[in-house]
């Protein structure tokens, strides 16, 4: 399977190294900003920047190449304009399987918060100083799941406005400091208790490994997918009771 990679940043370079070492994969090209594809590939990874995603999606459509989009900070409404594409597009703000697990936990945490009308929900996320977008794509994904579980919240938050109007806005605190790979924390604050669910990425290797798995998974498919669609095959059974177990 020949793989093309848009972007020579941390993720793109790491995936290029893994692809070159895989026995069933071959690196077709790894491109920097503005460089055009040089040969045919079976699948492609967009690990560039948000501003370049639209052009890369159009290239994938015209070339008939399934593409995995790992860039963040782009307008996802672009996908709705091309819902009839004869290719597969998988979008992933985070390639960590644990992040997909966190999204599921966010839904359940939101449902638990919905029981108590006074419970507050919030997200704290930290990334290295060079990360451009804030909140992160993963933070937005978690916010959407929290608000799905607790409808009194909107996932379109991100500021710290106080007062009654803020109760409808899920607050996201973002820090861009140091060299931290990535940290996401969900908090439920109630009158008598606090629940904290957090994930810290210690190495970027988890993202590169997840991207390679996603490239394998998307080959031969057609349609729009999220990383969660891929992760569901592994994670969904974890949320089912063991056979024969009484859940009451």
- Give per-residue pLDDT as tens, 132-141: 889 998 899 9
pLDDT at 166: 47
pLDDT at 82: 67
pLDDT at 156: 64
Residues of each domain in the chain carrying CATH 3.30.360.10: 97-201
CATH 3.10.20.30 matches 97-201: no
Ranges of residues in the chain whose predicted pLDDT is under 70: 82-83, 156-167, 243-248
Q: What is the DSSP letter of 200?
A: E
Residues of each domain in the chain carrying CATH 3.40.50.720: 2-91+205-237
Enumerate the active-site residues.
127, 131
Residue 228 corresponds to which tokens in the numbers above? 């969660």
pLDDT at 133: 85
Cβ contact 145:130 at 8 Å: no
pLDDT at 73: 79
3-state DSSP assignment of residue 97: helix
Q: What is the largest CA-CA distance in the chain?
A: 61
State CA 124 to chain mean position distance: 16
- pTM assigned to the model: 0.73
pLDDT at 162: 44
Task: Give the sheet arrangement for strand 171-176, strand by strand.
Answer: 171-176, 120-127, 182-189, 194-201
pLDDT at 93: 80
Residue 239 corresponds to which tokens in the numbers above? 């949320």
Domain spanning 2-91+205-237 has what CATH number?
A: 3.40.50.720
């Amino acid at each position: 399977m020949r793989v093309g990679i848009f972007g020579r940043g941390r993720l793109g370079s790491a995936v290029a190294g893994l692809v070159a070492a895989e026995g069933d994969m071959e690196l077709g090209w790894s491109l920097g900003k503005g460089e055009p594809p040089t040969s045919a590939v079976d699948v492609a990874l967009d690990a560039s920047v948000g501003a370049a995603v639209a052009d890369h999606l159009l290239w994938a459509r015209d070339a008939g190449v399934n593409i995995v989009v790992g860039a963040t900070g782009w307008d996802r409404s672009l996908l709705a304009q091309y819902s009839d594409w004869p290719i597969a597009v998988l979008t992933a703000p985070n390639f960590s399987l644990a992040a997909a697990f966190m999204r599921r936990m966010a839904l359940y945490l939101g449902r638990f918060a919905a029981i108590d009308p006074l419970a507050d929900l919030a997200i704290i996320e930290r990334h290295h100083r060079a990360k451009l977008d804030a909140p992160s794509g993963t933070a937005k994904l978690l916010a959407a799941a929290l608000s799905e579980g607790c409808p009194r919240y909107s996932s379109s938050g991100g500021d710290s406005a106080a007062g009654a109007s803020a109760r409808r806005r899920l607050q996201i605190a973002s820090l861009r400091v140091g060299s931290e790979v990535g940290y996401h924390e969900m908090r439920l604050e109630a009158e008598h208790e606090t629940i904290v669910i957090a994930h810290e990425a210690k190495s970027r290797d988890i993202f590169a490994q997840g991207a390679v798995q996603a490239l394998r998974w998307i080959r031969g498919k057609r349609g729009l997918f999220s990383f969660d669609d891929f992760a569901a095959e592994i994670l969904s059974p974890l949320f089912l009771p063991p056979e024969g177990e009484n859940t009451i």
